[in-house]
Chain A
């Protein structure tokens, strides 16, 4: 069974540019999470989806970050415009309802 797939694995951009990350969850998992992990820190939840609905986006900086999960399967997280402080690893996870979360390998973003 395929795990959580994320792309790209690495992304380097200049500040003020837009960037998008894609996540495909494990088949059958209706809950999808986006996390931000800074170096030396644990992951912090940005947004959680139940099917197509964002049920917790309280930690998502909505002035520059947006996310969508239009068909309740794969999801895209976007930053526009990116800032130097956005350099981090962006992790996607999925679960069946509120069960164990399975994490993807992450996208490492570097903003120059």
Chain B
């Protein structure tokens, strides 16, 4: 059974800091890995999707990397801003039915 772990559960940083969010998964047989953002009381917004054959994806100040063999992914946020405050969830897709398995998320607070 696939398990996705995100540690720590919460993180607080000052504005402008570069930061890394970690995600690990137990079964390396994945189709892809996604990072989502969830604001309080809202649904999930997909930030980046990395196919199993890829090593990284970039979008603006966000960069996600994937090391499938070691079961790890990182989300790098450059020059963090208060507007980046949210919960960031990692999810891996496995199986023929495109099943997404989510981590519990990391709640990020960026202090002005």
- A residues in contact (CB < 8 Å) with B: 4, 31, 40-45, 48, 55-56, 91, 93, 95, 98, 100-106, 108
A103 touches B44 (CB 8 A): yes
CB distance from A67 to the nearest CB of B (A): 16
A98 touches B42 (CB 8 A): no
Beyond known contacts A45-B100, A91-B44, A105-B43: 11 more, CB 8 A cutoff = A40-B104, A40-B105, A44-B102, A48-B97, A48-B99, A55-B97, A98-B98, A100-B46, A101-B46, A102-B46, A103-B43
Contact A104-B99, Cβ < 8 Å, known A41-B104, A42-B89, A42-B104: no
Q: Could you say which residues of chain B place their CB within 8 Å of the CB of A98?
A: 98
CB distance from B1 to the nearest CB of A (A): 12
Q: Could you say which residues of chain A place their CB within 8 Å of the CB of B49?
A: 100
CB distance from B99 to the nearest CB of A (A): 6
A-B residue pairs, 8 tightest by C-beta:
A42-B102, A103-B43, A98-B98, A103-B44, A56-B97, A105-B43, A104-B43, A106-B43
CB distance from A55 to the nearest CB of B (A): 6
Chain B, residue nearest A91 (CB): B43
Sample of 11 A–B contacts (CB below 8 Å) = A4-B43, A40-B105, A42-B89, A42-B102, A42-B103, A42-B105, A43-B89, A48-B98, A98-B98, A100-B49, A103-B45
